[in-house]
A and B are shown apart, each in its own frame.
Chain A
């Protein structure tokens, strides 16, 4: 994993703080809906927070492919690379 990706993962985890109520250790392999108990609406709202944090547009259809924190980080990295 690249340093940039690590950084994105760290940012995502810190941003998740206020959203996640269940006390779990979040890693790249954490499944966003199953392990964190976020419903689809909470995921979409969290994506808005990430869009602002990374100043990138994350279209909803890209979120459909995302299962883990690692997937999410790679998606953001990919979208950033294009900008």
Chain B
């Protein structure tokens, strides 16, 4: 028996999915033309599944800063910050992010995944309790596996359920860390953060909000859901990423807790991985600047989100509970979702196929993410393609039949 034998079942279901058409987990673009268009199998394809919320990946000022850093500082740091030292840019980006969030401290990580993994697993010690939303992102679940403390789940977006579970733990002497997300990445639903903040205040827990999908999207100045609903003072830790609104890669955590910086020598996913290359740091600094200077990007994104969400909903698709840049269409079966996804790709529209167990309530989802860089025409084309494929596959009623019945 080989060491990979345990994956036999996984391999079978993977092959079954890939047999329906293209392999959704191995899409390879021939080229990327802009934040919203790529070349796929020789045809121009609309990119509607890249989390490129502000469309800054091709921003000229970001590219210029990146090139400059690349030329002046080289391709990489070739090691971790505790061993190889930090470059000026790492500190500059931390300072800029702390300033943007109005917080004392910031730590930059090499990916958003590592930011969650590192911060959560390090904060929760063996005598503490981590309390997570049932629909948490994989990075939060992996942090839960890594922590030495106890882990308790509460029902998704349910403040009463959280309260009940914290109350049960009230005799436990350890610190409790509650972890929620600003916008959930599969359905685009926001957390009831005002209510969660109240539970946090009543129970004395600490609160961490992952604003990966809400930074640059929600809030008066783009700080995320905590800003949007006015509870930033209750949020002890904000985690975010550079790989969505900022168009690069990397993660961060900001906080006002005194002594936060001790985590730099305690948090293993920070300490034992290579730091971000200077070019990525430089483009992230510039993208943050662009985001702050140009609130119009957020307004355009918002308008596009509504256009797609309402367009798909009005066609009769089952969409998520609210209009956000993540617009997910739920389909009745996994097979139908895979077929639908393939048909859209053939027609020149790329988005994400999301299947259980990565999805809440075992839903089969076609997950779109809207960008400020999408033109209204691109959004309308996407809606038309959804309508066309939806009718072909019988997900939507045939308009001729509907008319005849009326």
Contacts and interface: CB of A to CB of B under 8 A. Distances in A.
Interface in A32-80: 39-41, 44-45, 47-48, 51-52, 55-61
> Does more than half of chain B's interface fall in helix, strand or loop, or is it mixed?
mixed
Interface residues on B, range: 10 to 19
B144 A60 contact: yes
Given A44-B134, A48-B134, A48-B155, A61 B168 contact: no
A5 to B, nearest CB: 21
A59 B155 CA distance: 14
Contacts of B153: 44, 47-48, 60
Interface of A: 39-41, 44-45, 47-48, 51-52, 55-61, 83
B155 A61 contact: no
A35 to B, nearest CB: 16
Interface in B354-370: 356-357
B241 to A, nearest CB: 24
A40 B138 CA distance: 13
Contacts of B103: none
Contact of A60 (B152, B155, B172): B152
Given A51-B165, A55-B168, A56-B168, A61 B134 contact: no
B169 interface: yes
B273 interface: no
A59 B130 CA distance: 9
A56 B152 CA distance: 11
Q: Top 7 A-B pairs ranked by shortest CB distance?
A: A59-B150, A60-B151, A57-B168, A41-B357, A57-B169, A59-B151, A57-B152
Contacts of B172: 57
Interface in B149-194: 150-155, 164-165, 168-169, 171-172
Given A41-B357, A44-B134, A48-B134, A57 B151 contact: no
A61 B144 CA distance: 9
A49 to B, nearest CB: 10
A59 B148 CA distance: 12
A57 B170 CA distance: 11
